[in-house]
Amino acid sequence: MAGSVIVVVGTQWGDEGKGKLVDLLSGEADICMRFQGGGNAGHTVVNDFGDFKLHLVPCGIFNPDCICILGTGTVVDPQSLLEELQTLEQHGVLARNMLVSGRAHVVMPYHKLLDQVEDEARGAYRVGTTGRGIGPAYTDKVARIGIRISDLLDEVILREKLAVVVQRHNALLTNIYHQPPLDLEELLSQALAWGRQLRTRIIDTIPLMRLALRAQKNVILEGQLSAMKDLDWGSYPFVTSSSPTAAGAALGSGIPPRDISRIIGVAKAYSTQVGTGPMPTELQGAEAENLRKLGGEFGATTGRARRVGWFDAVVTRFVTELNGCTDLSITKLDILDNLAEIPVCTAYRYKGELLNDLPDTAQHELCEPVYEILPGWQTSTLEVRRLQDLPYNARAYLDRLTQLVNVPLHSVGVGPHREQTILA
């Protein structure tokens, strides 16, 4: 990797295993920046330091020479960040290279409260959010009443801004949601305390990134979730409030789109989703239970049982095209090791018509998957480290997925540990 900007994005509904790939790629990275989202992420990383579920900290943190940054497009809960850094340090991971963009927005305690009461109030259109305050923090950003990380360093500005927000949210919280009112002084002193603790980590990312690009440094832009949960392109309204795409990476990092050299899309060898929204290949009953158990599919952030299903090539093709993916990384292949047959969704049937392209949310809800049944390999792949050593049917499965998605293979995950990766 010599002087490159690599974007890593999900190509399903999130939880594809991006964390593991970013951890691996970061071994050679100078900078690893998260460009959107916040503590709603649950990036699982298993390496020699231990077994981690990172919610905010970029997965490059395990390389002591890699500068990790929460970019301008993120929303940051300072309390969660401080706790996550403490946990990492307790495991011997030096987090002194962890920086935060002063332009990123703060997830305040009232955002978490609003997230819960507002999602309940959506009725049939309940999103099933992670409850981490992500949506309300982005809502305040767009409404131009957000608190930015740099505001935490200035009591005068912070007091003025908070006074406006508190008045506005109190009207909503007390009258509509019957919650106790927010206390300005309490919020102010909490926020100033966060500012004091994070002071040395808060930066203007622009000069640093400009220098890095000029010096041909290796940069990884780490995404959370996937375009299926993108505010514009996902299954609206069952989406998150940011843009987990390569375009979002340019926006949230401040790196010009033309400087992006590679876009790696990550896809699990089957499908999972947390939260509501269409999922044509979703399994039910014992079949779902079995796949969920095999894959350990429980949310890293919420602990919720993930919805599970077969690989949906229509979804991953849509997402990789939208992102312009140059590479495809397939994860958790080993989870399918014992199956005799593996269905893959190649197209949909919608009102009797065959669809090769993803329709919008309401039609997507009604699509039925058209399956091709591929033979399983019924051999463990956990120890395999080279493509040519995979069982024939496992190779054939990967070949069929990359052919359907039309993106070349970058790597294959055959276990949770960093080492359990086959580079194509």
Cα–Cα distance for residue pair 265/407, rounded to 1 Å: 9
- Does residue 15 have an active-site annotation? yes
Q: What Rg value do the Cα atoms of the chain yield, rounded?
A: 21
Asked if 226 and 323 touch (Cβ cutoff 8 Å), the reply is no
The three-class DSSP label of residue 407 is coil
234-263 residues near ligand IMP, rule: CB under 6 A: 238, 240-241
Of the candidate spans 46-54, 82-90, 131-139, 382-390, the one that interacts with ligand IMP by CB under 6 A turns out to be 131-139
Which is closer to ligand IMP, CB of 241 or CB of 381? Answer: 241
Query: Applying CB under 6 A, does 31 fall inside the site for ligand IMP?
Result: no
Q: Is the peptide bond before 343 cis (omega within 30 degrees of 0)?
A: no
Closest CA to 66 of 105, 115, 27: 27
Give me the least distance between CB of 313 and ligand IMP, in Å please: 20
The one catalytic residue in 30, 43, 105, 140 is 43
339-398 residues near ligand IMP, rule: CB under 6 A: none
Query: Applying CB under 6 A, does 15 fall inside the site for ligand IMP?
Result: yes
Closest CA to 30 of 244, 260, 208: 208
One-character DSSP codes across 143-189:
TT-PPBGGGGG-HHHHHHHHHHHHHHHHIIIIIIS--PPP-HHHHHH
Which is closer to ligand IMP, CB of 209 or CB of 330? Answer: 330
* Nearest residue to ligand IMP, by Cβ distance, number only: 275
Bridge partners of 52, per DSSP, are 45
Instruction: Determine which residue in the list 18, 105, 111, 132 makes contact with ligand IMP, applying CB under 6 A.
Output: 132
* Backbone φ and ψ of 237, nearest 5°: -90, 10
Query: Applying CB under 6 A, does 274 fall inside the site for ligand IMP?
Result: yes
- Other C-beta atoms within 10 Å of 4: how many? 17
The one catalytic residue in 15, 115, 230, 312 is 15
Break the chain down into helix, strand, coil percent, rounded to 5: 40, 25, 35
- Does residue 169 have an active-site annotation? no
Query: Applying CB under 6 A, does 42 fall inside the site for ligand IMP?
Result: yes
Instruction: Determine which residue in the list 25, 225, 227, 398 makes contact with ligand IMP, applying CB under 6 A.
Output: 225
Give me the least distance between CB of 239 and ligand IMP, in Å please: 6
The number of residues that bind ligand IMP (CB under 6 A) is 21
Query: Applying CB under 6 A, does 271 fall inside the site for ligand IMP?
Result: no
Query: Applying CB under 6 A, does 41 fall inside the site for ligand IMP?
Result: yes
| Residues in touch with ligand IMP (CB under 6 A) | 14-15, 40-42, 127-130, 132, 134-135, 224-225, 229, 238, 240-241, 274-275, 301
Which residues are catalytically annotated?
15, 43
